[in-house]
């Protein structure tokens, strides 16, 4: 589904990503773990087209998209749930969700998908007329995921979906991601909480100082001594 080859990104003189290569197959949950400042958000924003790489190449469904604008990538089925969720605090829950469908035209289909999201997250139906900014963190994360789903993504990119949320809410969000995967959506998620990321993904990559230093099945990385020491508290 996604093939990344030798991707390098600079911010001025800072090398944020160096020759990053990775591959994501259809129907997988792939996690990217790494410390603060490792370059995780930079990689995600490059995949969604918000940052242009200095060099390297991104292929999606067998076609090069390295320089495709981000709105075109959304149309092709790549949706991002950004760090901090990026909701419009003074719009209602429903308007935030509908904004996710901005690339689509068929009102009947859009309303159908809206109902499907309310089926997934019933609390959002109750709160649909409420300003998004007044929701709890967990409910806001549900809106952010729901909004991304409104473009019917094939590939969902998530930046720290568990950040700042109570464990029970984190379980709910990751449970939803597991169901989406089972229904055929491919998921790439960035997560500083390595326990959570490795415990809920099929495969993972470890990013250090802008370079991929490890990759493998998540269960193998969970059992790996050097990963345990560096990312799982020993
Ligand atoms: P975090 O977990 O803190 O979000 P991260 O792994 O997502 O970290 P990035 O945010 O991608 O890391 O940052 C990678 C490096 O690039 C860091 O050294 C950071 O300071 C630098 N950086 C990020 N954004 C910019 C920017 N807009 N301008 C200059 N440097 C930046």
pLDDT tens digits, residue range 151-208? Answer: 999 999 999 998 888 899 999 999 999 999 999 999 999 998 899 999 999 999 999 9
The whole-model pTM stands at 0.93
Long-range contacts of 106-109 (CB under 8 A, 24+ apart): none
Pocket probe mutation, ligand 1, options 15, 39, 45, max atoms within 8 Å of Cβ: 39
Q: Are the C-beta atoms of 85 and 46 separated by less than 8 Å?
A: no
**The predicted structure's pLDDT at residue 217:** 98
- The candidate with the shortest Cα–Cα distance to 129, out of 137, 144, 118, is 118
By the 10 Å C-beta count (0-12 exposed, 13-18 middle, 19+ buried), 129 is classed as: exposed
Q: Are the C-beta atoms of 187 and 177 separated by less than 8 Å?
A: yes
Give CA 141 to chain center in angstroms: 12
Instruction: Compute the half-sphere exposure of residue 124: CA atoms within 13 Å on the CB side of its CA.
Output: 27
Q: How far is the CA of 114 from the centre of ligand 1 (A)?
A: 34
Q: Is the CB of 176 under 6 A from ligand 1?
A: no
**The predicted structure's pLDDT at residue 83:** 84
Domains of the chain and CATH, by start: 2-77+153-231 (3.40.50.300), 91-152 (no CATH)
The sign of the torsion formed by the CA atoms of 71, 27, 64, 52 equals positive
DSSP label at 203?
A: E
Q: Is the CB of 192 under 6 A from ligand 1?
A: yes
Q: Is the CB of 45 under 6 A from ligand 1?
A: no
**The predicted structure's pLDDT at residue 234:** 65
Q: Is the CB of 13 under 6 A from ligand 1?
A: no
Residue 98, φ and ψ in degrees, nearest 5: -65, -30
As a whole-number percent, the residues of the chain with pLDDT over 70 amount to 100
Inform me whether the pLDDT recorded for 28 exceeds 90. Answer: yes
Q: What is the largest CA-CA distance in the chain?
A: 52
**The predicted structure's pLDDT at residue 200:** 94
Other Cβ atoms less than 10 A from the Cβ of 84: the count is: 11
**The predicted structure's pLDDT at residue 192:** 86
CA distance linking residue 158 with residue 85, whole number of Å: 9
Q: Is the CB of 40 under 6 A from ligand 1?
A: yes
């Amino acid at each position: 589904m996604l093939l990344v080859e030798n991707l390098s990104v600079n911010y001025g003189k800072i090398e944020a990503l160096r020759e990053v290569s990775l591959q994501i197959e259809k129907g997988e949950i792939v996690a990217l773990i790494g410390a603060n400042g490792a370059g995780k958000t930079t990689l995600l924003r490059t995949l969604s087209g918000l940052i242009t790489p200095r060099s390297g190449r991104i292929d999606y469904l067998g076609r090069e998209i390295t320089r495709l604008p981000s709105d075109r990538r959304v149309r092709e089925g790549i949706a991002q749930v950004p760090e901090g969720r990026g909701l419009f605090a003074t719009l209602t829950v429903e308007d935030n969700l509908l904004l996710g469908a901005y690339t689509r035209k068929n009102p009947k289909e859009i309303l159908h998908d809206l109902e499907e999201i309310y089926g997934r997250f019933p609390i959002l139906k109750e709160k649909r007329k409420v300003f998004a900014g007044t929701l709890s963190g967990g409910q806001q994360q549900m809106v952010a995921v729901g909004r991304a789903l409104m473009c019917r993504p094939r590939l969902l990119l998530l930046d720290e979906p568990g950040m700042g949320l109570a464990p029970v809410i984190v379980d709910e969000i990751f449970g939803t991601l597991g169901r989406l995967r089972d229904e055929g959506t491919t998921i790439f998620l960035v997560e500083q909480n390595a326990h959570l990321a490795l415990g809920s993904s099929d495969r993972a990559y470890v990013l250090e100082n802008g370079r991929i230093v490890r990759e493998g099945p998540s269960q193998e990385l969970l059992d790996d001594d050097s990963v345990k020491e560096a990312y799982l508290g020993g």
